[in-house]
Each structure stands twice: as structure tokens, then as C-alpha cells.
A and B are shown apart, each in its own frame.
Chain A
Amino acid sequence: MSGWVWAGVAALGGAGACSRFLLDSLIAGRFGRDFPLGTLTVNASGALLLGLLTGLALEGNLLVLAGTATLGSYTTFSTWMLETHRLAEDAEVPSAFINIVLSLAIGIGAAALGRTIGAHT
């Protein structure tokens, strides 16, 4: 990888993280703190976009920049896990369980949908 690609990874990675923060705050601020909808939306939309990119058969530096850098920092596994654990800590085991199952179902569905759309365009 050239120096320009490394610089691109840094810049787009930062942009991905910032978009997550903005979208998550917007959703959490509007729909409250009872269920981590912000992180779910971020992860589901990230899965859809990554599915789309691979469906479009993006490869090489473009996939690194759009997939690994941008969507990699946009989506978050750690926040999903942390917020699930916080729900369990607050004795909200049903919500914690729903947060895991719903994220998995919506996430895999979104990635599959993205791939299908990508492959047909």
C-alpha cells in the first residue's frame, strides 16, 4: 500500500467514527436511553453498506478505504457488547437478549440484502 492509501485509511477511518458518533447521538437523544437503538441502527446500516460494496465486487485499495477504513470504524462491535452488558447489569435480561438476537438478525439480513442489490447493479 502506498503512503496515499495509508493517509486515506486514517482520514476515512476518522470520518467513519465521526458519522457513527453523530448518528448515534441523534437517535439516542431522540429515542431515549431504554434500548440501544443508535448502535443497532449504526451496525445495521454498516452491514448493509458493506454487503453492497462486496456485492459490487469492489477490490484492492478501494475495498480497504471504503470497507475496512470507513465502515470498519463506523460500525462497532465493542459498543454493542458494552451496552448489552449494561442492560444485563440493570437487570434487564430480556432487553439484553433482544439486543443480541435483533442485531444479529437485522445485521445478517442487511448484509445479505446489500450483497444482492450490489450484485444486480
Chain B
Amino acid sequence: MNEDCLKLTTYFGERDRTPEGLLADELLDIYGGHRLQASVLLRGVEGFGRLHHMHTDRLLTLSEDLPVVSIAVDTRERIESMLDVVLQIKRRGLITIERSRLLTGEIGPVQLPEQLGEATKLTVYVGREDRAFRTPPFVAVCDLLHRRGIAGATALLGVDGTMGGRRARARFFAGNAGVPMMIIAVGSGERIARVLPELGALLPKPLLTLERVRVCKRDGELLATPHELPGTDEHGLAIWQKLMVYTSHRATHNGRPLHMEIIRRLRESDAAGATCLRGIWGFHGDHPPHGDKFFQVRRHVPAVTIAVDTPERTARSFEIIDELTHEHGLVTSEMVPAMSAMSEAEQRGGLRLAHHDF
């Protein structure tokens, strides 16, 4: 386990361009060129940014510029050495850096640091297909997590990325077996720690990260509010906070899917932005893992809604989310030690990591 890793996440529009070409291509070219351990490009289904413009795949003309999220994980030195190149790109969007722990290779019994005891977010990076499996790896991983009593997992399909330093990009006419996917699971530190060696044995080249989270709500039950963080650390560096809401397409509020209502209500508030990603497979609680079926009208897949903001606005967003998730959904909060919002004209916030113990 490498304790000192960083996760660089960027939120932007699918059609955002730089003078060289599409921003998504340019970022993933950089990640591929630096042979990052793990990176993945995810296409969102709905969201808004600082200008509160709506993007959604529900209406044809609003779906021509959907939100995308790129995630890159590696050791601190490797991410920091890449950062200058990434920041040189003139662009719009949001960049965050979070602390992460990376597990690769053989995984023996794991003693989790105390910080991860409360709750842990486990992210597993796998290819779409693998010959070692009879079923796709994400199905095998979700099955294992479900059997071991992890609270829930969501498999997100990547369209581009790197795994173990190798770039794999999805193409229209191709098997796309090596294109990375990510499976996000949240559970108690103890249960996650127990399942890690098994995951290591299941996957030919395990690539996992662990992050500290707080589980705020589960199936309507309020367990804790997000940590009350100060706006800045003792050196004056800004502190940010991230809320993630895991729901199913089936969960509704006022007759609409819950994740859509969350985006709508956050957009009506003063929230800085929110992005919704649709999973292809997953489970919550006791239900066995499932996805969509071939013959169906209504969708059953999981959805993840992400909102990064100042601690003050995060507390307000949480009130909105708390009201909407009175029955369904898993809500987690995390500290984000660095964020930068960029437009063509200006850049707000820096990317030096804030420190705050809580």
C-alpha cells in the first residue's frame, strides 16, 4: 500500500476545446504520456457548472455537450510533476486534488490506518473484459463485495484511460477489453480491509485506492452531517468539501428519478456545480447486483451525483439532499484539500494541498 498518493479530478464539458483539439483528448494524452497507474474518463448524463447552464441527456439539443469527469491517480511525486503541464492548458472547468492510498500487486492482510476506520471508499480499477474471467471483471468484483456485506457498489464505464501505465481508449468498432472502468464501493473500514486480500487474489493485476469518507445517510436514515470544516486551514489555504449521492434509477421523488431532482434543486440553489454519472452495474444493501435488461422501458442502473463546493455551501447543499433522500440513497462527504475553478479569462483557487486534521 502506498500511503502518499494523489487523485487529480477534472470536471468539464465533453465538447470543450483547446487550440490543440478536444480537452478530454489532451488531458488523457498527458495521462497516457506520463504512464499513470490509473486514469479514467467518464461521461456524465446531467450536470451544471458555475454559470448554472443545464446539460442533460434527456433532451437532444441539451445533450450535445454533456459533462465529463477525468480521474488520475498515482504517487504524489508523479502527479505533482504532471500538474504544471495540466494547468498550462487554457480551459474551463474544475480541478480538484484529493489524498488517496493506492494498492497494487499482491495484497496481503491489510491493517488500515485509524483515519479510515469510520468509513472507507474503495475504488477498484478494472478493464471492461478479461480472459481470466467467465464474466466481466466488474460483475465478479460486485459479486464479491456483495457477498462480503459491503453496503453498496457502483460500476462506472470509462471511455478512455490508463491502467498500470498503459493507455487504452474505447473505439467504435473494437472489443475495448482493456478500457478502464471504475467500481466505487463504500463500507466500514473493517469490512473493506477484510475484503482487500480477496480482491487481490481475484484480479490478475489489482489496482485499488482507499479514501477516507463519512457516511452521512443510508436509506433515509441520517447517520451524521458532513464534518464542519473551516473555510481555510491554518496557512490560509482554502478547504473544500465533496458530497456524493449514490442512488438507483428506480428511486424517485415527486415522480422523477431522485438523482435528477437532486441536480434540479442544487441548480436552483447557489451551489457551485454538480455532475451526475450513470453506472452500468451495481447494488445497494441486500439487493443482488444488477444492471439494465435488454427488454425494458424503465432503467434500473445506479447513478452517482457529485457536488464539490466550499464547506459553507456544502452544508446548505446537504440540507437539500437530506430532504430529498428521506427514503433512498447513500450520501457521503469528503474533504477536498485543493480545488481550482478555471475559465478562459481567470483561475480561482490554487492547487496547494490544505492540511486540516479532524
A90 to B296, CA, bound (A): 12
Chain A residue with the shortest CB-CB distance to B299 = A89
Q: Which of B53, B61, B62, B257 contacts A90 (CB 8 A)?
A: B257
Contact A21:B61 (CB < 8 A) given known A29-B53, A29-B54, A91-B250: yes
Chain A residue with the shortest CB-CB distance to B60 = A79
A-side interface mostly: helix
Task: Please list 10 pairs of residues, one from A and one from B, whose beta carbons are closer than 8 Å in the complex, sorted by A's number.
Answer: A21-B61, A24-B60, A25-B61, A28-B61, A33-B59, A34-B264, A82-B60, A91-B250, A91-B256, A92-B256
| Contact residues, B34-92 vs A (CB, 8 A) | 46, 53-54, 56-62
| Contact status B59-A83, CB under 8 Å | yes
Q: Interface residues of A, CB < 8 Å — how many?
A: 23
A36 to B61, CA, bound (A): 10
Interface residues of A (CB under 8 A from B): 21, 24-25, 28-29, 32-34, 36, 38-39, 79, 82-83, 85-92, 94
| Contact status B58-A29, CB under 8 Å | no
| Contact status A88-B56, CB under 8 Å | no
Q: In the complex, how many residue pairs between chain A and chain B have their CB atoms under 8 Å apart? A: 60
A21 to B46, CA, bound (A): 19
A91 to B255, CA, bound (A): 7
Shortest CB distance A36–B (Å) = 6
Contact A28:B59 (CB < 8 A) given known A89-B297, A90-B249: yes
Q: Which of B56, B249, B297 contacts A33 (CB 8 A)?
A: B56
B339 near A: Cβ within 8 Å?
A: no
A75 to B264, CA, bound (A): 28
Residues of B within 8 A of A38 (CB): 59, 61
Shortest CB distance B15–A (Å) = 13
A34 to B56, CA, bound (A): 10
Contact A89:B54 (CB < 8 A) given known A25-B62, A29-B62: no
Residues of A within 8 A of B176 (CB): none
Chain B residue with the shortest CB-CB distance to A80 = B60
Shortest CB distance A119–B (Å) = 34
A25 to B298, CA, bound (A): 26
Chain A residue with the shortest CB-CB distance to B53 = A29
B252 near A: Cβ within 8 Å?
A: yes
A18 to B252, CA, bound (A): 36
B215 near A: Cβ within 8 Å?
A: no
B245 near A: Cβ within 8 Å?
A: no
| Contact status A36-B59, CB under 8 Å | yes
